[in-house]
Amino acid sequence: MAQELKDKIERSREDLLEELKEFLRIPSVSAQGGARFRECAEWVARKLREAGAEARLMETAGHPVVYAEIGQGERTLLSYGHYDVQPPEPLELWESDPFEPEVRDSKLFARGVADDKGDVLARIQALRLYREVFGEPPFRLKFLIEGEEEVGSPSLGKFVRENADLLRADACLWEGSMQDESGRPLIFCGTKGMLYVELRAKGASHDLHSMYGGIAPNPAWRLVQALRTIKDETGEITLDGLHELADPPTELDLRAIEEIPFDEEALRASWNVEAFDRGLTGDALLRELLLRPTANIAGMHSGYTGPGSKTIVPSEAFVKMDFRLVSGQSPRRVMQLLREHLDRRGFEDVEIVDLGGLEPAKTPVDSPVVRLAVESWREIGRDDAVVYPTVGGSGPTSFIATDLGIPTVMTGSVAWAGSRIHSPNESTRLEDYFETVEYFATLFRKFGER
Amino acid sequence: MAQELKDKIERSREDLLEELKEFLRIPSVSAQGGARFRECAEWVARKLREAGAEARLMETAGHPVVYAEIGQGERTLLSYGHYDVQPPEPLELWESDPFEPEVRDSKLFARGVADDKGDVLARIQALRLYREVFGEPPFRLKFLIEGEEEVGSPSLGKFVRENADLLRADACLWEGSMQDESGRPLIFCGTKGMLYVELRAKGASHDLHSMYGGIAPNPAWRLVQALRTIKDETGEITLDGLHELADPPTELDLRAIEEIPFDEEALRASWNVEAFDRGLTGDALLRELLLRPTANIAGMHSGYTGPGSKTIVPSEAFVKMDFRLVSGQSPRRVMQLLREHLDRRGFEDVEIVDLGGLEPAKTPVDSPVVRLAVESWREIGRDDAVVYPTVGGSGPTSFIATDLGIPTVMTGSVAWAGSRIHSPNESTRLEDYFETVEYFATLFRKFGER
What integer pLDDT is reported at residue A309 of this predicted model?
A: 87
Q: Which among B217, B221, B272 is the nearest to A205, CB-wise?
A: B272
The CA distance from A303 to the nearest CA of chain B, in Å, is 4
From chain B, the residues in CB contact with A309 under 8 A are 196, 298, 320, 322, 355-356
For residues B432 and B450, give the distance between their C-alpha atoms in angstroms, rounded to a whole number: 27
Of all residues in chain A, the one with the smallest CA distance to B219 is A297
Provide the residue range defining the domain that includes A43. Answer: 2-189+363-449
Pair (B24, B103) in one structural domain: yes
Tell which of A333, A358, A383 closes a domain: A358
Q: Which among B221, B235, B309 is the nearest to A231, CB-wise?
A: B221
Contacts of A398 (CB under 8 A, 6+ apart): A191, A193, A358, A359, A360, A361
For residues A169 and A403, give the distance between their C-alpha atoms in angstroms, rounded to a whole number: 13
Q: Which among A277, A308, A314 is the nearest to B218, CB-wise?
A: A277
**DSSP strand pairing (B76-82 vs A427-429):** unpaired
From chain A, the residues in CB contact with B31 under 8 A are none
- Return the HEC string of chain A: CHHHHHHHHHHHHHHHHHHHHHHHCCCCECCCCCCCHHHHHHHHHHHHHHCCCEEEEECCCCCCEEEEEECCCCCEEEEEEECCECCCCCHHHCCCCCCCCEEECCEEECCCHHHHHHHHHHHHHHHHHHHHHHCCCCCEEEEEEECCHHHCCCCHHHHHHHCHHHHCCCEEEECCCCECCCCCEEEECEEEEEEEEEEEEECCCCCEEHHHCCCCCCHHHHHHHHHCCCECCCCCECCCCHHHHCCCCCHHHHHHHHCCCCCHHHHHHHHCCCCCHHHCCHHHHHHHHHHCCCCEEEEEEEECCCCCCCCEECCEEEEEEEEEECCCCCHHHHHHHHHHHHHHCCCCCCEEEEEEEECCEECCCCCHHHHHHHHHHHHCCCCCCEEECCEEEECCCHHHHHHCCCCEEECCCCCECCCCCCCCCCEEEHHHHHHHHHHHHHHHHHHHHC
Contacts of A315 (CB under 8 A, 6+ apart): A202, A203, A204, A205, A206, A207, A208, A219
Pair (B208, B311) in one structural domain: yes
The CA distance from A450 to the nearest CA of chain B, in Å, is 36
For residues A359 and A383, give the distance between their C-alpha atoms in angstroms, rounded to a whole number: 32
- Return the HEC string of chain B: CHHHHHHHHHHHHHHHHHHHHHHHCCCCECCCCCCCHHHHHHHHHHHHHHCCCEEEEECCCCCCEEEEEECCCCCEEEEEEECCECCCCCHHHCCCCCCCCEEECCEEECCCHHHHHHHHHHHHHHHHHHHHHHCCCCCEEEEEEECCHHHCCCCHHHHHHHCHHHHCCCEEEECCCCECCCCCEEEECEEEEEEEEEEEEECCCCCEEHHHCCCCCCHHHHHHHHHCCCECCCCCECCCCHHHHCCCCCHHHHHHHHHCCCCHHHHHHHHCCCCCHHHCCHHHHHHHHHHCCCCEEEEEEEECCCCCCCCEECCEEEEEEEEEECCCCCHHHHHHHHHHHHHHCCCCCCEEEEEEEECCEECCCCCHHHHHHHHHHHHCCCCCCEEECCEEEECCCHHHHHHCCCCEEECCCCCECCCCCCCCCCEEEHHHHHHHHHHHHHHHHHHHHC
Of all residues in chain B, the one with the smallest CA distance to A294 is B214
Domain assignment present for B88: yes
From chain A, the residues in CB contact with B204 under 8 A are 271-273
| Contact by Cβ (8 Å): A65, A145 | yes
Q: How far is CA B123 from CA A448, B88, B126, B178, B429, in A?
A: 101, 24, 5, 15, 17
Sign of CA dihedral B151, B154, B155, B156: positive
User: What CATH number does residue B223 fall under?
Assistant: 3.30.70.360
Domain assignment present for B271: no
Of all residues in chain B, the one with the smallest CA distance to A291 is B214
From chain B, the residues in CB contact with A298 under 8 A are 210, 303-304, 309-314
Asked whether the beta carbons of residue A228 and residue B231 sit closer than 8 angstroms, the reply is no
The CA distance from B165 to the nearest CA of chain A, in Å, is 33
Contacts of B15 (CB under 8 A, 6+ apart): none
For residues A292 and B444, give the distance between their C-alpha atoms in angstroms, rounded to a whole number: 75
Of all residues in chain B, the one with the smallest CA distance to A223 is B224
Of all residues in chain B, the one with the smallest CA distance to A237 is B214
Among B199, B205, B222, B296, most A C-beta atoms within 10 A, so best to mutate, is B296
**B183, amino acid identity:** G
Q: Which among A289, A309, A355 is the nearest to B309, CB-wise?
A: A355
Tell me, yes or no, if B261 comes closer than 8 A to chain A by beta carbon.
no
For residues B348 and B352, give the distance between their C-alpha atoms in angstroms, rounded to a whole number: 10
| Contact by Cβ (8 Å): B297, A311 | no
Pair (A128, A224) in one structural domain: no
Pair (A332, A416) in one structural domain: no
Tell me, yes or no, if A46 comes closer than 8 A to chain B by beta carbon.
no
The CA distance from A323 to the nearest CA of chain B, in Å, is 9
The CA distance from B208 to the nearest CA of chain A, in Å, is 8
For residues A376 and A353, give the distance between their C-alpha atoms in angstroms, rounded to a whole number: 45
What integer pLDDT is reported at residue B383 of this predicted model?
A: 95
Tell me, yes or no, if B353 comes closer than 8 A to chain A by beta carbon.
no
Domain assignment present for A255: no
Number of CB pairs, chain A paired with chain B, less than 8 A apart: 231
From chain A, the residues in CB contact with B318 under 8 A are 305
b/e string for A313-328 if b means 16 or more Cβ within 10 A?
A: bbbbbbbbbbbbbbbb
Domain assignment present for B284: no
Of all residues in chain B, the one with the smallest CA distance to A234 is B225
Domain assignment present for B268: no
Contacts of B72 (CB under 8 A, 6+ apart): B136, B137, B138, B139, B140
From chain A, the residues in CB contact with B277 under 8 A are 214-218
Q: Which among B213, B272, B314 is the nearest to A299, CB-wise?
A: B314
Tell which of B358, B384, B401 closes a domain: B358
The CA distance from B393 to the nearest CA of chain A, in Å, is 5
| Contact by Cβ (8 Å): B342, B370 | no
Pair (A353, A384) in one structural domain: no
Grade residue B450 by pLDDT with cuts at 50, 70 and 90. Answer: low
For residues B449 and B442, give the distance between their C-alpha atoms in angstroms, rounded to a whole number: 11
Tell me, yes or no, if B69 comes closer than 8 A to chain A by beta carbon.
no
Asked whether the beta carbons of residue A299 and residue B220 sit closer than 8 angstroms, the reply is yes
Name beta bridge partners: B142: B69, B78
Asked whether the beta carbons of residue B393 and residue A308 sit closer than 8 angstroms, the reply is no
What integer pLDDT is reported at residue A450 of this predicted model?
A: 66
Asked whether the beta carbons of residue A214 and residue B314 sit closer than 8 angstroms, the reply is no
Domain assignment present for B156: yes
The CA distance from A355 to the nearest CA of chain B, in Å, is 6
User: What CATH number does residue B411 fall under?
Assistant: 3.40.630.10
Report the half-sphere exposure of A220 (CA within 13 A, side-chain side): 29
10 Å Cβ neighbour count for B396? 23
Pair (B141, B108) in one structural domain: yes
With a CB-CB cutoff of 8 Å, which residues 183-242 of chain A face chain B?
A: 192, 194, 196, 203-206, 208-218, 220-221, 224-225, 227-228, 231, 233, 235
Tell which of A358, A390, A407 closes a domain: A358
Pair (A20, A56) in one structural domain: yes
Q: Which of B308, B302, B305, B214 is nearest to A356 (CA)?
A: B308
How far out from the chain centre does Cα B114 lie?
Answer: 13
What integer pLDDT is reported at residue A373 of this predicted model?
A: 98
In terms of Cβ atoms closer than 10 Å to its own Cβ (0-12, 13-18, 19+), residue B47 is: buried
Average confidence score pLDDT of chain B: 96
Q: Which among B213, B294, B313 is the nearest to A214, CB-wise?
A: B294
Domain assignment present for A259: no
| Contact by Cβ (8 Å): A294, A157 | no
For residues B438 and B432, give the distance between their C-alpha atoms in angstroms, rounded to a whole number: 10
With a CB-CB cutoff of 8 Å, which residues 265-324 of chain A face chain B?
A: 271-273, 275-277, 280, 285, 288-289, 292-305, 308-314, 317-320, 322, 324
From chain A, the residues in CB contact with B292 under 8 A are 214
Contacts of A8 (CB under 8 A, 6+ apart): A129, A132, A133
pLDDT at B446 over 90: yes
**B10, amino acid identity:** E
Q: Domains in chain A: how many in total?
A: 2
From chain A, the residues in CB contact with B322 under 8 A are 210, 213, 309, 311
Pair (A182, A196) in one structural domain: no
Pair (B339, B373) in one structural domain: no
Tell me, yes or no, if B248 comes closer than 8 A to chain A by beta carbon.
no
| Contact by Cβ (8 Å): A296, B285 | no
Q: How far is CA A171 from CA A58, A79, A406, in A?
A: 22, 9, 5
Asked whether the beta carbons of residue B215 and residue A300 sit closer than 8 angstroms, the reply is no
Pair (B318, B425) in one structural domain: no
Name beta bridge partners: A55: A68
Domain assignment present for A273: no
pLDDT at B195 over 80: yes
From chain B, the residues in CB contact with A205 under 8 A are 271-273
Q: Which among B203, B317, B320 is the nearest to A309, CB-wise?
A: B320
Pair (B232, B146) in one structural domain: no
From chain A, the residues in CB contact with B210 under 8 A are 294, 296, 298, 322, 324
Pair (B320, B236) in one structural domain: yes
From chain A, the residues in CB contact with B227 under 8 A are 221, 224
Report the half-sphere exposure of B445 (CA within 13 A, side-chain side): 24
Q: Which of A19, A65, A29, A30 is nearest to A45 (CA)?
A: A65
Q: What is the pLDDT of residues B74-121, one digit of tens each?
A: 999 999 999 999 999 889 999 999 999 999 999 999 999 999 999 999
**A263, amino acid identity:** D
**B66, amino acid identity:** V
- 10-residue block means of pLDDT along chain A (450 residues)? 92 97 96 91 98 98 97 97 93 95 98 97 98 97 96 94 98 96 95 96 93 97 98 97 96 96 93 96 96 97 92 96 97 98 98 95 97 97 96 93 96 93 94 98 93
